[in-house]
Amino acid sequence: MKLLVTGGAGFIGGNFMHYILNKYPKDKVICLDALTYAGNMETLADVMDNPNFTFVKGDISDRDTVFQLFEKEKPDVVVNFAAESHVDRSIEDPGLFLHTNILGTGVLMDACRKYGIQRYHQVSTDEVYGDLPLDRPDLFFTEETPLHTSSPYSASKASADLLVLAYHRTFHLPISISHCSNNYGPYHFPEKLIPLMIANALNDKPLPVYGKGENIRDWLYVEDHCSAIDLIVRKGREGEIYNIGGHNERTNLQVVKAILKELGKPESLIRFVTDRPGHDRRYAIDPTKIHNELGWEPTTRFEDGIKLTVKWYLENRTWWEHIINGEYQNYYERMYGHR
């Protein structure tokens, strides 16, 4: 199989690249990535010499680049990870999110229509369902939950989902979509909660917890997300949406305290700061459909995954120190300087 994976120099795409090349030694993988601030060639260092791997620097919203790549490579499958992915940045600059996440998706699907494809898979998010109240632990997002977005990021992802579904209905494009909960693990960019807290704690810097730290996220170890996408692409039904999550709900404060405990750092590092505007309260996935139809199950519990993640950040300091010593410092000052 020949896969075109977009956004493969980012967190989940990078992990997916490693996953596929290890599991399927005969598959060919092409990575298309614009190398924005979130793309990192160091994430792909291990696979660059693999003869089954090709890296192409390019923007998914650039029609010429995308069409030329399809003309040359004629991929069997496209998995679209490429996106602007950080909610806080979408509050700062919504336009970029509309451009990459919606228009970029449209360009990829136009190329799939023109050149033909076995499957186009859109990597989407549980955030398209909005949020759940904190006092209703009995409620979960199913594939039937209405779209109800909160941030420019989630609105752009929901828009892209609708476009993908429209191309299926109107042009019979063989698509699938996944809605996954919060991922964590190796190569996670340190603007996101878990790696930011690990990096700050290791540097004895304050840990900025939004609001009271009561918001809940449903954490999934990134390799479990990769195995779910792999299954959907190869065995999932065309035109379908699959929710992915492993029932690992934690408040943000629980997550931060678990990290401090693992690192042997004091809870006095925690600082409660001004809340995120429009902050979603709780995400929680019902993964019954993917479990029943495809037999998918997560393999890593949060207690183990967080240990593995902390260990990875301890053993790979240069990977994240290169990031936080660069342009990231300006971002950090903008986002947290006066919070």
HEC string of 48-77? Answer: CCCCCEEEEECCCCCHHHHHHHHHHHCCCE
205 binds ligand DAU (CB under 6 A): no
- CA dist 288 and 230 (Å) reads 17
- Nearest to ligand NAD of 59, 224 (CB atom): 59
Catalytic residues: 126-127, 153
* Residues paired with residue 240 on neighbouring β-strands, in sequence order: 176
- CA dist 288 and 40 (Å) reads 34
- CA dist 76 and 119 (Å) reads 7
Going residue by residue from 70 to 109, which x/- string records binding to ligand DAU, judged by CB under 6 A?
A: ---------------xxx----------------------
Is residue 79 within 8 Å of residue 3, measured between CB atoms? yes
189 binds ligand NAD (CB under 6 A): yes
We find the least distance from the C-beta atom of residue 307 to ligand NAD, in angstroms, to be 19
- CA dist 272 and 262 (Å) reads 21
161 binds ligand NAD (CB under 6 A): no
Q: How far is CA 304 from the centre of its chain?
A: 20
Going residue by residue from 70 to 99, which x/- string records binding to ligand NAD, judged by CB under 6 A?
A: -----------xxxxx--------------
209 binds ligand DAU (CB under 6 A): yes
- CA dist 93 and 7 (Å) reads 20
159 binds ligand DAU (CB under 6 A): no
Contact stretch for ligand DAU (CB under 6 A) within 37-45, 98-106, 163-171, 203-211: 203-211
149 binds ligand NAD (CB under 6 A): no
Q: Is 143 helix (H, G, I), strand (E, B) or coil?
A: coil
Q: Looking only at Cα atoms, what is the longest distance across the chain? A: 57
| Interactions with ligand NAD, residue window 162-181 (CB under 6 A) | 180
| Interactions with ligand NAD, residue window 112-141 (CB under 6 A) | 123, 125
Total number of residues that touch ligand DAU (CB under 6 A): 19
- Nearest to ligand NAD of 100, 200 (CB atom): 100
Task: Give the DSSP H or E segment for 194.
Answer: helix 193-202
Q: List residues near ligand DAU by CB under 6 A.
A: 85-87, 125-127, 181-182, 192-193, 196, 208-210, 215, 217, 252, 276, 283
